[in-house]
Structure formats: C-alpha cells, structure tokens
Amino acid sequence: MTKMRLAIVGAGPAGIYAADLLIKAERDFDVEIDLFEQLPAPYGLVRYGVSPDHPRIKGIVTALREVLDRARPDTGDADTAADGEGVPSGTVRYFGNVRYGEDITLEDLKRHYHAVIFSTGAIRDASLSIPGIEAEGSYGAADFVSWFDGHPDVPRTWPLEAAEVAVIGNGNVALDVSRMLIKHADDLLPTEIPANVYEGLAANPITDLHLFGRRGPAYVKFTPLELRELGEVRDVDMVIDERDFEFDDPYATEVLGKNKQVLVMTRVINQWREAQKERAASGEHASRRLHMHFWSKPVAVVTENGRVSGLKIERTAPDGQGGILDTGEFEVIPVQSLYRAIGYFGSPLEEIPFDDERGVIPNAQGRVLGADGEPVPGVYATGWIKRGPVGLIGHTKSDAMETIECLLEDRESWWQPVEPSPEAIPALLESRSVPYTTIEGWQRLDEHEVSLGEAEGRARIKVVPREEMTRVSRGE
C-alpha cells in the first residue's frame, strides 16, 4: 500500500492533534486525512467550551490553525515531500457543517477510507441525582457555557433572573460559570462575546453567588490561575466561611500540603480571608458577593411552586484518608437558580459501541471494542470520548499519540475502501445537498468575525446563527 486515507470525526483539539501526529509519524506510505466536524467552524471546546475572558486560549487556537494550514493539500508544503525526495506525504482537509450519522454514515466511511478515528468529545452535563434537580431554574453548566460562547445550536436567550445563585462543583468549569455569572457585563466587552450574550448578562440581577464543594479547600480541582482570576473580578467580594478551616485533616497536611499547586491555592484563599477581615473592619463592600462553601454536600434542591428556592446541603468532614464523612448537620442556602458543574458526559454515535454508564466509546488504548470485547477493525477513538472528560491539552496530545500508535500497528486489519478517491467525498456531500464548509471557508468566517469586532473596537465578535456562519464561510 502506498497511500492511506483516514477519516477523523470531530475537529476539536483531539482530532486535530491526531491528524498532526499521524502526519509526523514514521511510516512508508502517504496519508490523506479528512476531518469531519458537525459545526461550521473547527476547534470544538476551545471555541465553544472555554469562557471568552481567557485570552490565553488564543494561543491554542493559533497552534491548531497552524496544523490545518500547514497540512492543506493545496499549500504544496503540507508536511509532504518538501522535506526531501521520496519522503511520504501527509495532507489534511476539513469538512465542517457535516453531521456524522446524518450527512455521512459509517458505511460511507468504510467505502472511502481505510479507518476512522472518533474524537467527538463530551458536551453533555453529567447528571446529579438529588431530589428537585429537575426544577425550573436548575441548569447544567455545559448548556450555559454553550450559550455564553455563542454555540449555534442553543437558544439565543438565557433566563438570568435570580439574585442568588448556586454553582455546584469544584473544577475549572465551575469557576468559569461562576465568573461569567458574577462579572459585570461591561468588563466582558473587550472579549469576543456575541451581542445577545452581552445583553443578557447586562440585565443579570445577581447579587450573591454560592459555590459548593463536597470536600475542603486543599482538595479542589481548580488550577491556581483560574482561582486567582476569580478573586480579581471587579466589584465582587470573596466571602469565606471560617468553619471550613477548623478541621484537623492529616491527609490534607501530609499529602496534599506538599503539592505546589495546592500551596498556591491555599495562599490565594488565605489572602481572601484576610481581605474579608479588612472589609469587616472598614465597612466597605462590593455590590456583588461570591461565597465559597467547602465541606458542603448538596442533598436536595428546595423548590417552591416548581421553581428552585434553595439548596439543602449536608456539612461533611474529612475522614483522614482523603475522603469525607457525613455529619448529619444540614443547612438550606436560599437561591433562585442553580448550575451543576460536576463534569461532562459523552454522547452515543450511530453504529458505534457506547458505554452508557461512563459516557465513552469502550476502547483499549484507542481501539474501539465491540460487544464481545474484541477490537472493531478500522475504528478508533481519542480525546474525551475515549477516556472521559478529564485532563488538559497535554493529556489530549499524549492520548492521541497512543491511538495513532495503535492505528499504525493495525495496518493488516484496516478497511479496504472500494472508492478511495479524494474527489468522491465532496461529490458525495454535494449529492446530498450538504452545505459543507472548508478551511478556506473558516478563514473567511474568521476574518469576518474579526472585522465585526474592529467596527466596535473589540478583537472579535462571534457569529452565532449556524445559517449565517455557513453563508459567510461559503461566500454566499
């Protein structure tokens, strides 16, 4: 075999890194990779899962864009034989606005490719099974993040009606949600938030946000940078409950206390405690407050007329081994809305095995496993749909490398496509009237969003409606 054709479904970081690693891998054959993405624009959760006030994300987008630009088949230097005579080539094409299972099927992929890698991520909220969680005013964090990030498939409005709000979770998503809820909308104008998001946040009546974690300050899953950013939000007081620091917890002291990140976060929280004492002495207070609740396990959502009216929590205590003990001491915190930010969950894919309990595609090192526990020939997974919604960009790269290594080892079991011509894919999509987008189209949309921002003195303003994204991308 002189040429391999690979399909990758999902053009977020996991899919793009997998393409890049295959191109750079040692091999004796050319590769042609087609990336399929259900949205008109690439980059997945980097574009639609991170709060817009994180400018460092731009660096990740730049790196991902360089991979796609460098490996385009029409550039002439796409990590191909430009490195020397006879060096195997590698190219990547992008097909956006293409839904797997609807616009293109597994049967189609087998007809045109040697293998497929699924990198569809995890975009649903993990469930929280406590009474009242389905009440009006109770939301999943993932849906809210999609709204403020301008995802084209969610409603344009969000019901920001509560003065007192609860956020359940002690990870970075919980911090992003908390920060976006408590921050004054005008402070987000330098970012790329769409106009409808700014208008919604500007009308937000919030005065108090309560952030809940089941364990203590030393156990949080935040990163120090995220935590520090939370305390830098203008006109917001950080409110700390001193009861959360009264426990004698040898595990936190002897094990977690040696971790540099934990030390930094402990220092940040202690600074907030001191600032709280100074505010109490001066009598000066901000217009909004963010309350940190540790050792607080949500046990029920209190409702009134079907709406959220409070969150019932049970105070917990350390068990000395990194776990918690229930104390039987309960409190109700008055809130009128609630967001659960306890993790993401994957979605099943047409004709592909799925683990309903873990929300992932069952696999061994990226090889997708069938009902009999044996690898399914030609089918692979990478990213969150492979390992679950844990880890940062570094984990995504190493995860993709593992999958690519398995893919290359399995050469003898790849599919044998009957129609591997690159021209067959655009023809197939056009025959089905799929208005697909390309890398050139994404660059057109990118430039359009930047121009919208320039007109208002901002870096970018996102286009939200899918139809408009597609029309601009296709130059229509």
| Tens digits of residue pLDDT in 12-38 | 999 999 999 999 999 999 999 999 999
Question: What does the pLDDT look like over 164-221, one tens digit per residue?
Answer: 999 999 988 999 999 999 999 999 988 888 989 999 999 999 999 999 999 999 998 8
Least confident segment among 53-57, 132-136, 317-321:
53-57
pTM of this structure: 0.91
What span, in angstroms and rounded, lies between the C-alpha atoms of 43 and 64? 7
What span, in angstroms and rounded, lies between the C-alpha atoms of 53 and 149? 10
Question: What does the pLDDT look like over 216-234, one tens digit per residue?
Answer: 999 988 888 889 989 999 9
* Average pLDDT score over residue span 312-325: 94
What's residue 82's pLDDT? 41
What's residue 302's pLDDT? 98
Could you tell me which residue, 199 or 82, shows the higher pLDDT? 199
* Average pLDDT score over residue span 259-274: 92
CATH number for 3-123+346-436 (one of 3.40.50.300, 3.40.50.720, 3.90.1150.10, 3.40.50.150): it is 3.40.50.720
* Average pLDDT score over residue span 105-111: 98
pLDDT over threshold 90, residue 65: no
Placement of tokens 């574009």 in the chain? 47
What's residue 394's pLDDT? 67
What's residue 83's pLDDT? 45
- Backbone angle region of 451, left / alpha / beta, with phi > 0 → left and psi within -120 to 50 → alpha: alpha
What's residue 208's pLDDT? 98
What's residue 73's pLDDT? 82
pLDDT over threshold 60, residue 466: yes
- Domain residue extents for the chain: 3-123+346-436, 125-344
Query: What class has domain 125-344?
Result: alpha beta
* Average pLDDT score over residue span 106-111: 98
